Amino acid sequence: MIRILTHKEHINGTRIFDRYLYMAAWVLPFSPEDVLGDDHLEVDGKVVTADNFINISNKFPRIRNEKYKKKLIRYKISDVVKDKKQRFEQDQLLASRVVYNSNKKLYDFLYTNNPYNSRKPPNMKKVNLRKLLTVKMDELDSELKQIKNSQYTCYEDLMNIVFRYDVFAQSPHAIELLKDMNVSVCPYCNRQYTFSVAQNNRTSRAQFDHFYPKDQFPSFAISLYNLIPSCGLCNLAKSNNVDKILYPYSDEMGHDVRFETKYVSGFRYLFGDQNAKNEFDVSLQFAKEDLETEYKDKVTKSIEYFNLDLLYREHKDYILSLFRNNYVFNDDYLNMLCEQFPHILQSKKEVKSLLYLMDIEKEHWGERVLGKLTHDIDLEINSGALIDRLWKEIKG
């Protein structure tokens, strides 16, 4: 419903990108050089490079419990080593063999040589790894599309040894990443706040929805632009559905899809009568006829998967308050306020911001819940479109 910003567009873009790469280097069983390359990150006031990452992050090799030892043996890595550097190399070698056995296309995309030809981890294609981690999901090239659409074996090993989303999500840096992303309202529904806060041992944060579900596309499990900050209701509703829906990093309903009210049995709702909830309906409608079919299909699927039509009917009391406020505080009254308080109120737009407790312009919809609904109903009331539509319905 609402578009969110990539790090390249975001005022906190550098912080978002640096912290994400730091988290990826911590979670992935690859060398810091492979993940970070020549980048100089700034995280929590510290400059982090591939050379100092291990010391600053205090990253350690995987614990050699019995379960992990069995994995090493299963993938023909049986040497017992105690040196920290050697254990890191074992972890990297194991990861390469898991990928090799799970998905050959993914392996060829990430590595240069057969992992069973040496006891050392194979060389990684750093550019391709960076692409996998940071590509937008609607900009996958032909290789990544083939990987996405291919079959995976050894799924559990791939998720538990390589693309460890659970470790990523449980990191204290996940909350800091979400705070930097500053997605205050769920982009799927625009109904729920998604603040992320932490103090001492108390935390509350938005959920990460996987646009491409990690159960079906594990190679994108921690890819930055596969992670959509969202509310719990939308994350649960979308579940593992893979049909094309609006992709929040690129798509939005904007002004092409609008909330509209519809007469059912009475007109009291036009004056905001709180007893008129059953006299009208509200739904999302296309505002233009010449929209692309693919876009319209995405909108329709989004409405269906997130139950937007059903949920927004539960906001009829709010819609009635919008009608009531517009009836009481009409244009004449708004103009009078601007004339009486010119040092405070420069325009009717500013008065409406006070009236609705939000700026209803499109660029601000992601700052307050129900921002789009408020804008669309206000537009419907004040544009004359509602009266024209009601007149046609009555005549019909």
Give me the mean pLDDT over the 189-195 stretch. 96
* Lowest mean per-residue pLDDT among 181-185, 227-231, 328-332: 328-332
- Structure confidence at residue 82 (pLDDT): 80
SS3 call for 381: helix
Task: Give the bridge partners for 228, in sequence order.
Answer: 209
With H, G, I as helix, E, B as strand and everything else as coil, classify residue 301.
Answer: helix
Checking if the pLDDT of 25 tops 70, the result is: yes
How much of the chain, in percent, has pLDDT values that exceed 90? 80
The per-residue DSSP string of 215-270 comes to TT-GGGTT-GGGEEEE-HHHHHHHTT--S----TTT---TTTEEEEEEESS-SGGG
Q: Mean pLDDT over all residues of the chain?
A: 93
Please give the full DSSP string across 57-114, using - where no structure is assigned: HT--PPP--HHHHHHHHHTT-------HHHHHHHHHHHHHHHHHHH-HHHHHHHBSS-
**Model confidence at 158: pLDDT above 90:** yes
The pLDDT, as a whole number, for residue 396 is 61
CA-based Rg of the chain, rounded to a whole angstrom?
Answer: 26
> In this predicted model, what pLDDT tens digit does every residue of 204-233 receive, in sequence order?
999 999 999 999 999 999 999 999 999 999
**Quick one: tokens of 26?**
């911590």
Question: What integer is the mean pLDDT of 71-90?
Answer: 90
Tens digits of residue pLDDT in 35-58:
999 999 999 999 999 999 999 999
Where in the chain are the domains?
Answer: 13-238, 257-395
CA-to-CA distance for 223 and 220, rounded, in angstroms? 5
Give the model's confidence band at 170: pLDDT under 50 very low, under 70 low, under 90 confident, else very high.
Answer: very high
Contact criterion met (CB below 8 Å) for 3 and 251: yes
At 395, the pLDDT band (50, 70, 90 cuts) reads low
pLDDT given at position 198: 86
pLDDT band at 331 (very low <50, low <70, confident <90, very high): confident
Both tokens assigned to 353 = 């911001």
Read off the tokens for 241. 């559905």
For residue 274, is pLDDT > 70? yes
Q: Which residues contact 115 (CB under 8 A, 6 or more apart)?
A: 93, 96, 97, 100, 107, 121, 122
- For the residues 82-108, what does the mean pLDDT come to? 95
